[in-house]
Each structure stands twice: as C-alpha cells, then as structure tokens.
Amino acid sequence: MSILKIQNLRKAYVAPDGARSVVIDVLQFSLAPGEQAAMEGASGSGKTTLLHLIAGILLPDAGRVVIAGEEMTAMGEAGRDRLRARTIGYVFQTFNLLQGYTALENVVLGQMFGQGVEEERARGLLARVGMGDRLNYRPRQLSVGQQQRVAVARALANRPKLVLADEPTGNLDRGRAREALSLIREICRECGAALLLVTHDPEALSQFDQVVRLADINHAVVAEAEAREGRLGGEAHGGR
C-alpha cells in the first residue's frame, strides 16, 4: 500500500488577462511508507503547487490524491484539514515559523491541530534537532539554520506518515544545507515517515537515491516546453 498516491492530477490557473494555464498535469505518482524521494524541478515548474495539492491546501481541477488510504481530494475542507494535521508534516522553504511564539510553542502548536499536545515529545524532538537549549527562544533570536531545525521538529511533531519538504535548503549555505538535509532524512527515517522533497538544488538532489524529475511526470511542463519550442520554430502548437 502506498502512503501517497496521485492519479490524473490536474490544476490550472487563470491569469489576470483571462488566459488559463495548466501548471500541474500528473498522471501517476506514488510513494511507499518510509520511502524518501526527491523531486527535481526548476523555479516556476509547479513544485509548490504540487505539494499544496498533496497537502490538501489546494484543490485540483481533476484527479485524486490518496494519503494513507484516505482520498484527500474527495473530502470537504474540514476533512482535508484534519487529514493534513494527522498525517502530513510540512517543511517550508522559508520555515514559516510563527514569530510571536517560542521554539517550543511553535512545535506544540503544530501538535494541537493534529494528534494532540505531547509536550515531552515536542521537547524531545527539539533536543533531537539540537535545539534543546533554545526552547524558549523566539524565531528572530535564532539563526537561519536554527530556525530550519525548529521547522523540522514542528513538521514531525504530529508523528506524520508523510513529510513534504519544499526547498528546505533554499535559504541555507552549502554546509548548512547538507547538514539540514541529513537531519530531515534521518529524523524521517527514525519516525518512519515517508519524505517527498522538492528542490532544484543539485547538491540536495545528489543525496537521494530516488530522484524524480517533475518535468518527466508533469505533462503540463512538457506541453509548455513543446509549445515554447514550437513558438521559437515558428510553428503553432496548442498547449495540452
């Protein structure tokens, strides 16, 4: 059984000028429990949109997303919120820590909407990511690398089955990026969570055995590329 299953997922945006552009058109993608995969994609290729669709933050125009056997795309908003809180951990590129809260509170707050508050676990996770002595620090009192660690602890606070990481090393220097990535992978492994990491950073990609090129599975990207080539070559191609 897959922890994540995507089928015929399609999402389009309507530009201000009224033009409709398809950004996600993925026929099939799946991830097994505990599996770790990196997804490579250039800027603007729909990486974040895909993660938002998987997390149920966005609804697709068509297709299915199934998380741990439950079809996210068939649920109402409250159901998606619940499923996300229970099964998904999210690490953002900009960490998205809540500024007014301490490191511990950021992690505890993540638990409140999911499995319930387990402060000991929150403390343990922060200690595991090396932030045990910074529990009461607020994000602005932490370095970028430390904020990233808190974000990782928060993502895993709810014992998620799937961790989605969106360019988690994008704001870190090379050394810190490598360190952060190892940490995310290690903790996901320890917690038994599957990991789907999207990035365009070759250094980050090199650390994964399984790398999927978004362009290979996202037909929207393929179609756009074809259309672009067509325009350059003077031929008129319709987008897919």
| Separation between Cα atoms, residue 140 and residue 132, nearest integer Å | 17
Residue 77 binding another protein, by CB under 8 A: yes
Among 54, 55, 126, 217, binds another protein (CB under 8 A): 55
Residue 198 CA to residue 215 CA, distance in Å, equals 12
127 contacts another protein (rule: CB under 8 A) = no
Minimum CB distance to another protein smaller for 57 or for 223: 57
User: Shortest approach of another protein to residue 38 CB, angstroms?
Assistant: 14
73 is a contact residue toward another protein (CB under 8 A): no
166 binds another protein (CB under 8 A): yes
Give the pair of three-digit tokens for residue 68.
Answer: 């741990």
The pattern of x and - marking residues 174 through 213 that bind another protein according to CB under 8 A reads ------------------------x-x-------------
CA 196 to chain centre: 6
* DSSP-assigned states of every residue in 16-78: TTS-EEEEEEEEEEEE-TT-EEEEE--TTSSHHHHHHHHHTSS--SEEEEEETTEEGGGS-HH
The letter for the amino acid at 1 is M
**According to the binding rule CB under 8 A, does residue 49 interact with another protein?**
yes
User: Rule CB under 8 A: which of 135-154 touch another protein?
Assistant: 154
